[in-house]
């Protein structure tokens, strides 16, 4: 989460967030979810959609919990 806060502060790059997520599915899920929100806030709808779609994928259903459902609704 620290990398996500720093991304929104302009101190980190999106690549840093993905790198910090590592190979853990939960970390990858939240990295994609918050990168989608970040890119949406920055006006890059293409990248926002790509990351939200990744977070909403069935691959993350077991680790995303309620927030996985939020990602699916957001994608629609």
The predicted model scores a pTM of: 0.93
Confidence of residue 75 (pLDDT cuts 50, 70, 90): very high
Q: Write down the pLDDT at residue 65.
A: 93
Express each pLDDT in 24-70 by its tens digit: 999 999 999 999 999 999 999 999 999 999 999 999 999 999 999 99
The sign of the dihedral angle between the CA atoms of 38, 7, 19, 68 is: negative
- Asked if pLDDT for residue 1 goes beyond 90, the answer is no
Q: What phi and psi values does residue 10 have, to the nearest 5 degrees?
A: 85, 10
Q: How far apart are CA 47 and CA 24, in angstroms?
A: 22
């Amino acid at each position: 989460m620290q990398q996500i806060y720093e991304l929104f502060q302009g101190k980190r790059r999106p690549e840093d967030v993905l790198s910090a997520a590592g190979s853990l599915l939960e970390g990858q899920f939240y990295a994609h979810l918050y990168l989608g929100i970040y890119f949406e806030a920055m006006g890059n709808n293409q990248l926002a959609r790509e990351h939200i779609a990744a977070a909403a994928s069935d691959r993350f259903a077991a680790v995303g919990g309620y927030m996985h459902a939020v990602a699916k609704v957001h994608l629609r």
